[in-house]
């Protein structure tokens, strides 16, 4: 959206929508939050939503639907097989992406499961700009491995590089030469690299890598779950794209890839997912997995009501005014905290504001999960639920040692069209307070550690009584009921 100018102050992000439905929030007192954190095993995933004031864990499945999306759900065709709603969704995706074949799934990780089942064999190497937790887990479960070939500059948390998700094309060529094209089932590009701060990849970089893939006969796959933010950044940061519409950029991106998959919980603002396939034979080779693992080919584990909402949501994702709100709010949060001297991942990306936990709590050893401890502290100091994106989100090495993450971050996600600017300012204020009291935050250790994706359901405990000391300092500042 164009920047809204103010007469009496500097510009601030403006919501290009009005609120028609509200949901009451609950701010527990600090002592109650400490008890809830204990019950949750110091894992924010295990908190009850009713005990949270601002849920900034993720933007997955928690974006606000528009009035038109909700109205569309009333038109759903509830047939088990051959639902007209499915064909409408297929037609809409073909219109936007130019790819004829759709495999519906219940969400994005189901797409990763099916793609991996079809392509990955033991010993295979999958090239990515950067991994996502579930995408990597599906590949390694089948005996494959991941090579992350994002440019080195993309892992520098504080910089002004506009496209930190860009892949290092020289590393890609070297990897293909070393492995052999036959051992690389596909190259996966994530449009909006989740684990390095929602940082975008440029169209230029996507074209470079897909050209190399085609020249070597390697399938090129796009994870489009965070595509809407990436489209915003391509249009606003990539000079050659500034005069193109979001729809034009989307089609240009889509034309580069053989397969595109997405989580509708992110892209489209509703719940579901899908795999778009260009080649008919590949489509038929993969369709058995849908009926085996997801459901019939015209619903694939999705509610047809959600499909109707997604049809509208896909169109809204092509609207620059709609997709700009998230990045602009995130940018406001990142700039405000960066100006206060707080170590942020800059420039602001999509998905959420990302804090460099390694710098924020530099006194906590890497093996004691600095980002996990910090995300716990944010809940204690304001009822804000964020997400750890660091070593705790990794899996252990084969010898049982910790695999220390390249970057150690806390993500404060901004679900689309959910939070107001005053709520954003509250978050900024509480982060500033915690930074001034950061020496009170200590480490964590596991008491229950699942073998796979441990960050979802693992339970931890503090390495000292630091949560009690932090809460006491918070109460001294803000009172018992805050």
CA angle 27, 32, 34 (to 5 degrees): 110
Task: Let me know if 266 is a catalytic residue.
Answer: yes
250, two tokens: 């989307």
Q: What angle do CA 76, 77, 78 make, to 5 degrees?
A: 105
CA distance 168 to 377: 36
Q: What is the 3-state secondary structure (H, E, C) of 297-325?
A: CCCCCCCHHHHHHHHHHHHHCCCHHHHCH
Q: Which of 55, 59, 168, 223 is catalytic?
A: 223
For residue 147, give the nearest of 122, 121, 176, 117 by alpha carbon.
176
**Active-site residue identified among 389, 411, 416, 454:** 389
Q: Is 166 in contact with 156 (CB distance < 8 Å)?
A: no
Instruction: Look at residues 281, 315, 337, 274 and name the one whose alpha carbon lies nearest to residue 107.
Output: 274
**For this structure, is 133 an active site residue?**
yes
How far is Cα 284 from Cα 209, in angstroms, rounded to an integer? 26
Q: Which of 6, 78, 80, 211 is catalytic?
A: 80
Residue 385: active-site member: no
Residue 267 and residue 191 in contact, taking contact as beta carbons nearer than 8 Å: no
**145 catalytic residue (yes or no):** no
Inter-residue contact 97 to 425 (CB < 8 Å): no
Chain-centroid distance of CA 103 in Å reads: 22
Within 10 A of 353 (CB to CB), how many other CB atoms are there?
32
Neighbours of 186 (CB within 10 A): 22
CA distances from 186 to 134, 146, 174, 180, 196 (A): 16, 11, 15, 12, 22
**Active-site residue identified among 44, 58, 105, 133:** 133
Active site residue 77: no
Q: C-alpha 389: how far from its chain's center?
A: 10
Q: Annotated catalytic, 130? A: no
Q: Are 225 and 267 in contact (CB under 8 A)?
A: yes
Query: Is 376 one of the catalytic residues?
Result: no
Residues classed as catalytic: 80, 132-133, 223, 266, 389, 455
């Amino acid at each position: 959206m164009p920047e809204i100018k103010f007469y009496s102050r500097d510009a601030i992000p403006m919501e290009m929508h009005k609120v028609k439905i509200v949901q009451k929030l609950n701010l527990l007192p600090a002592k109650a939050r400490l008890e809830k954190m204990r019950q949750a095993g110091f894992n924010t995933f295990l908190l009850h939503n009713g005990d949270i004031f601002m849920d900034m864990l993720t933007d997955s499945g928690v974006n606000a639907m528009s009035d038109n999306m909700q109205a569309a759900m009333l038109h759903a065709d509830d047939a088990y097989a051959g639902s007209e709603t499915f064909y409408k969704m297929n037609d809409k995706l073909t219109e936007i992406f130019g790819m004829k074949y759709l495999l519906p799934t219940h969400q994005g990780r189901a797409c990763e499961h099916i793609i991996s089942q079809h392509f990955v064999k033991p010993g295979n190497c999958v090239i990515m700009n950067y991994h996502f937790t579930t995408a990597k887990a599906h590949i390694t479960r089948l005996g494959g491995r991941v090579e992350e070939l994002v440019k080195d500059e993309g892992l520098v948390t504080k910089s002004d590089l506009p496209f930190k998700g860009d892949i290092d094309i020289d590393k890609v060529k070297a990897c293909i030469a070393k492995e052999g094209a036959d051992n690389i089932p596909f190259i996966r590009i994530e449009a909006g690299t989740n684990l390095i701060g929602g940082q975008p990849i440029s169209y230029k970089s996507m074209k470079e890598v897909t050209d190399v893939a085609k020249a070597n006969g390697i399938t090129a796959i796009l994870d489009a779950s965070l595509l809407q933010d990436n489209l915003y950044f391509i249009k606003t940061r990539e000079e050659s794209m500034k005069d193109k519409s979001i729809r034009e950029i989307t089609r240009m991106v889509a034309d580069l890839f053989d397969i595109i998959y997405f989580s509708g919980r992110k892209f489209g603002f509703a719940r579901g997912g899908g795999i778009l396939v260009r080649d008919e034979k590949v489509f038929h080779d993969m369709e058995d997995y849908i009926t085996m693992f997801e459901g019939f080919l015209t619903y694939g584990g999705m509610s047809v009501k959600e499909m109707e909402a997604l049809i509208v949501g896909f169109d809204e994702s092509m609207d620059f005014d709609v997709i700009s709100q998230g990045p602009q709010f995130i940018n406001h949060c990142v700039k405000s905290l960066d100006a206060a001297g707080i170590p942020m991942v800059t420039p602001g990306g999509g998905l959420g504001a990302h804090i460099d936990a390694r710098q924020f709590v530099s006194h906590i050893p890497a093996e004691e999960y600095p980002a996990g401890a910090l995300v716990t502290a944010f809940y204690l100091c304001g009822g804000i639920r964020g997400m750890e994106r660091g070593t705790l989100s990794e899996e252990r090495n084969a010898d049982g040692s910790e695999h220390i993450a390249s970057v150690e971050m806390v993500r404060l996600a901004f679900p689309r069209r959910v939070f107001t600017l005053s709520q954003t300012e509250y978050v900024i204020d509480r982060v500033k307070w915690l930074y001034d009291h950061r020496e009170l935050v200590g480490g964590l250790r596991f008491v229950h550690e699942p073998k796979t994706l441990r960050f979802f359901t693992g339970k931890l405990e503090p390495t000292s009584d630091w949560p009690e000391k932090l809460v006491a300092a918070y109460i001294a500042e803000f009172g018992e009921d805050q």
